[in-house]
Structure 1
Amino acid sequence: MIVRTETIDQRIDTYLNDFQPDKIVVVVSETSEKLCLPKLQIYKKVDNIIYHLPDGDEAKKLSYCEDFWESLLRENVTRKSLIIAVGGGAVLDFAGFCASVFMRGIPCIYVPTTLLSMVDGSEGGKTGINLYGTKNIIGTFTEPAAIMRNVDFLQTLNEGEILSGWAEVIKHALLNGGTLMQMVQKGCPETNDAEAWMGIIRENILFKKEIVSEDFKEKGLRKLLNLGHTLGHGIEAIHFEDSKINHGISIANGLYWESLLGFELGITDVSILETVEKLVYPIYPKIGWSELEVEPMCNLLMHDKKNHNGKIQLSLLNAIGNASFDVEVSEAQLMDFLSKHATALHDSED
């Protein structure tokens, strides 16, 4: 559901009137509590329980899950209670996972507040937390009870946060082609252009829903949505101490590097590689890895949860709107590729 500020409270109230929860627990991050929660009527209801998380992936730790579950027990939360997650992808991942396993499942409403969470993280039923530096290694496939996307929340985001979500929009456009690709080629709209954003978000959701409806638990077709994410997560992991390199920048670069790998494997045509490059690098810094980071990055990727029989499984583009999943790349091939392109360093090292 895509709404504006003036209608989101009405939508939430409709759900609450139908469900009649005995308790409401609102999960927020530091930023979403400050910028977004005050715009919602649920913030003004004194009997609601507010649970606070740090911003970003710091929240996706098992220790926070344990603390949250303990707080639910203290507050006598039941299966008739409701969790409302207000925040970006990390908040939704955390709350969705915790809700899905507490008492074997209590309902959770998502109110995504970032572009990334509106076009990707909130849709599809994936929940997850990190463990020992491995992203989303613990999680469930559980749909939220409802999703309320307020495009006006985009005006609370800075340019970096918008571009973080725009990388997923580019990914969906490459996989889908058609109307969404036409929208992306026009460029990223201003945050106050609600009409443009409603159209873009709607097209993203429709595309992802179509994929997920055919393959909810990622046994086949849904693996296409991992495009850019294998090398992207590797880049994100080796540069985790650099606050300037966020998830979106990593995934945007992952789209390019995986397209280059696809080209070198004879799968992706050079024209597709050039299209990806034109969509990514006018707006994102080029991020790679140093020679010293080749082995750590290879080791990290060889432990990816998508791997099979000691090989990484990639989704690679054949054409715009056409891709293959389960493309196997051996450890030797991966090492060769990483070593060959190890001179590419992120901008802060230039």
Structure 2
Amino acid sequence: MPNASDKEIINRWKRNTQPLRLAVYETKKELGIIFKRTYTKREYIIDNEIFLNTDFEITSYKELLPTFTIHELLKQSGYEPIPIDSVQLLHKIDSKDIPVLSILDKFQPTPSINIRKIDYSAVYQKLVDGCNEVSLKFTFSKDEHKRVHSMLVQTDQGQEDILISKENQYKNPFNQLSTEKRIFSVLQPLFKQLHESGFILDEVSFKEELSSSIKSWKSCGFSISRIHGTNYRTGNEKGSSNSQQNHENSKNNKNKKQEYHALEQYYKLLGVTPSSSRDAVTRAYRAQAKKFHPDTIQGKNLDDEFIEFATLKFKNIQQAYSEICVARNWT
């Protein structure tokens, strides 16, 4: 069973969006009375407060030592594993095993590496729950040394700046497919959270627009709403009036496509099709609304979580019927 320290670390790291810094520090002692020999002891520290020995076992943390290993704490908090094989190696010199920290030694005078966050589910849940609109801004930048991909998530509940990747230009040449794969893997839990919270999201169009921005290295943004679906906007665009007009035409076509996909979601929610008659749509709406109406739910001794779900479902059903009526000019 986890103790108080386990829970504290996991909850804090779950909400964290930045890499954790794993650093090594040295303590030197002189051994011997006549023939003195300098002895160097190396240990690790992660997140500025958790101390580890050379086997990555936790040796110190405030007052209460966690019961979970550092690897389990990282896993449950959404972080990638410590790259032990890359950090701690044994080199044989004159038939003696000498520990060498191959990666950390390159970061003198303060040797350290970053442990990357790979699962942001808890962060997305905190930001999306209870809000009506989510704004995403993607920034792609590069210079002669590095490439950086980041995403700013803004909602009524707050905002978080998420570092998706930071790569060396020389060691890791740009690859469109691998970059998209990394970004979409970070986004997938967000898509899931948005769908569960009743947002209208056309993932296909979203990914098409984002891929285009990644390829052209242009910042872009998306506004995702429960009511209006997904709007797309680019940043730092320059060009002639013709190119601007082309972009506007493309944007209009995209908006029409998004509206069509939004209507598809509304029909699906009511269990009807675009070819269904007005009477069929109205009957379906009334049946669904009755099932999730607050008057139907109250008094059944249901838990608060289901009541909250039913209330949100009822609002989405009302919205779906209203939007279909507007689209088909039913007054």
Same fold (TM over 0.5): no
TM-score normalised by the chain length of structure 1: 0.22
Larger strand percent: 2
Task: Work out which of the two has the higher radius of gyration on C-alpha atoms and give 1 or 2.
Answer: 2
Structure 2-normalised TM-score?
0.23
Greater RCO (CA < 8 Å, at least 6 residues apart): 1
If each structure's helix is expressed as a fraction of its own residues, which one has the higher value? 1
